[in-house]
Amino acid sequence: MPAESALRDGNTADFDLIETMRWQPGQGFLRFDRHLARLYGSAAELGFACDPQKVGELLRNAVDRPDIALRTRLVLSRSGKMTVSALPYEPHAADKAWRLQLARVRLDSSDMLLRHKTSRRDTYQRARAEYLISRADEVLLANERGEICEGTITNL
């Protein structure tokens, strides 16, 4: 069973699944089907209870300001309990060039939980802490083979 193998690999800490989505007036949730596919796939693979009807209901209820863009975050616990939060979406200036840095801390390519968006954020927080905020808008993470995998707050 995949959830058991994740636990055998030393990932015994309790964690939640996370899905962060942008909601745009007139468009709804951007890339909604892809976000849900990732959430449902992770839940199934890791043995999380997940009620798709409840997901939709909670997300619809969270979007109570139809006139502004929102950053929504859904958190799913192993038992199926879900919470959703929504904050105003604040885009970066279109003409801003991001300052990128490469973290010294490395991801472990054998850690199967890295394929999923989870609340396990220690490595990402350590990577961001390597640089002053004035030196990096984003810190990229590589694995032990030097392959760039993701950012601390972005996907590649």
DSSP summary character for residue 118: B
- The CATH number corresponding to 2-88 among 1.10.3720.10, 3.30.470.10, 3.30.750.24, 3.90.1420.10 equals 3.30.470.10
What residues does each domain of the chain span? 2-88, 100-151
Q: What is the pLDDT of residues 53-66, one digit of tens each?
A: 999 999 999 997 67
| Domain 100-151: assigned CATH number | 3.20.10.10
Q: What is the pLDDT of residues 26-41, one digit of tens each?
A: 999 999 999 999 999 9
For 15, the 3-state DSSP assignment is coil
pTM of the predicted model as reported, rounded to 2 decimal places: 0.84
Beta carbons of 112 and 100 less than 8 angstroms apart: no
Give the integer Cα–Cα distance in Å for 99 and 105.
18
